[in-house]
Chains A and B, each alone.
Chain A
Amino acid sequence: MIEFSAVTIVALLAWGVAVALDLVSVPQALLSRPVVAGSVAGWIAGDVDAGVRVGVLLELFALDVLPIGAVRYPDYGPATVAGVALAAGRPWQDGLGPAAVLGLLVAVLGGWSLQLVRRWNAEAVQRHAAALAAGESGAIRRLQYFGLGRDALRGAVLTAVGLALAVGARALVRLDDAMAMALTLVLVGCGVTAVVGGALRSAGRGLRISWLLAGFAVGGIVAALV
């Protein structure tokens, strides 16, 4: 099992903040996608394979989400970083399931934390309503910088909680191989549910459903051949 140095923990925390900010605030460059967040977190943690495995599995769940407007959705970025921290250094068949469990829990917590930040932002906007109505540019800048600061703080706390749970679980929780493997398989099944369910929902009844079904067929053939 990999032992994390303080530098690695700090780097994972910084990466968690970056991906948390990326989800909504800035720059929305896809850093928060689990497949990206996980691969980079795996590289930081010294186990790229674990990062990719955890990232791809949580990506299946993320593909079910349309991050539209006021909708409440899980924050998979910091969640993936925490999951990778738990899985790194273990055989992926044993580590993937527990990592995905942790990832899903932190993602749900992240969705709740987004709601909290949005309410705090609304309160700040109300406090500055008079300045905004007067067209004071300084008030807009202050609101914007503090809004970004709140989201960065949210990302830092969320990632810190996730990493603490991961480090704690590595030290304290001992799952037998059968249990760990069962969790891995169940979560792969759930991931397939998420990606297929989301794709069917997005496809509707138009041209897209035909292309989706064609994709399933081609993918099935490729999977059988490799």
Chain B
Amino acid sequence: MTSNGATNTPAGAGGAAPVSGRLRALLRLLAIQGTWNYERMQGVGMGYAAEPLLADLKTADPARHAEAVARSVEFFNANPNLAGLALGATARAEYDAVPGAQIARLRTALCSPLGAMGDQLFWAGLVPALVGVALVALSLGTAWSVAIGGLLLVYNTVRLWVGVWALRTGAQAGMGVGAAIGASWMPRAIALVGPVAGFAVGIAAPIVANWYLRGFGARAALGVAIVAAAGLLAMRYLGPAFTTVRFALGAIGLTVILRWLIR
């Protein structure tokens, strides 16, 4: 039921959604972090992406539309590649005339799981896995256009497919999106991609180091190994505040001073 007492058709969000509206929402999701800020985080970006999905509500129930738009820009933060699940689900819930407070609670409740799952799937999984493969390929002499083109093609094909899937799944499941996520391919993919990423980065590290050190000789290799070991120990014992960038800047400073003293 709508705020006017009429029933809305879930045209903008559900299975009968206009393709142009869903496509526009999907494209706008690519810029979900365009107004990222410490107050609403991705909220404004979500509202921007929700606009095409909520368009049909404007004619069916203008009062509900204004409320829905206002809800769509409230605080939200998740992995941007999975935000479509929340976007589709909340848009569907708006057309299903679910009470606003319930929609707001769904949106808040989705932040943590979509953030954690997306970060594991993409930032700690797919990205290091594909980058590791690209680093190995470049170090072994593959043409840069092939290595970089392959990296971009595979990653963007996967993330666009995930974006389409997420928006469609969210729009179909509505308030039941949590169960739909749990029953989907995602938990299995997360369990699989982590070890693959570890393996790919593990292979890349020695091959890349060897690529740089080839021709420098054994003394240089020993020096690099000492720097690397010192860095790992420093980070192990000095805590997370001592980042690799800080270690590198310290090592640069030390190198410049030592070189100046030796002169």
Contacts and interface: CB of A to CB of B under 8 A. Distances in A.
A60 interface: yes
A63 B213 CA distance: 20
Interface stretch (B11-19, B84-92, B181-189, B217-225): B217-225
A70 interface: yes
Contact of B198 (A64, A74, A208): A208
B123 A66 contact: yes
B33 A104 contact: no
A222 B127 contact: no
Interface of B: 30-31, 33-41, 43-45, 47-48, 51, 65-70, 73, 77, 80-81, 115, 119, 123-124, 127-128, 130-132, 134-136, 138-140, 144, 147-148, 151-152, 155-156, 159, 194-213, 215-216, 220, 223-228, 230-232, 235, 243-245, 247-249, 251-252, 255-256, 259
B205 A192 contact: yes
Contacts of A59: 131, 135
B150 to A, nearest CB: 11
Interface residues of A, number: 102
B225 A189 contact: yes
- Chief secondary structure at chain B's binding surface: helix
Contacts of A187: 248, 251-252
Contacts of B204: 195, 215, 219
Nearest to A123: B37
B103 to A, nearest CB: 14
Contact of B205 (A39, A206, A214, A216): A216
B192 to A, nearest CB: 10
A185 interface: yes
27 contacts: A26-B31, A30-B151, A56-B208, A60-B208, A64-B244, A101-B252, A104-B248, A104-B252, A122-B37, A133-B70, A135-B65, A140-B44, A147-B36, A182-B259, A185-B223, A186-B223, A188-B213, A189-B227, A193-B244, A198-B244, A202-B128, A210-B195, A215-B203, A216-B205, A218-B203, A223-B206, A226-B207
Interface string A187-201: 111111111111110
A56 B223 contact: no
A53 B34 CA distance: 31
B80 A28 contact: yes
A189 B139 CA distance: 16
A178 B30 CA distance: 46
A193 B209 CA distance: 11
A66 B79 CA distance: 12
A65 B224 CA distance: 22
Given A121-B35, A211-B198, A190 B69 contact: no
B108 to A, nearest CB: 15
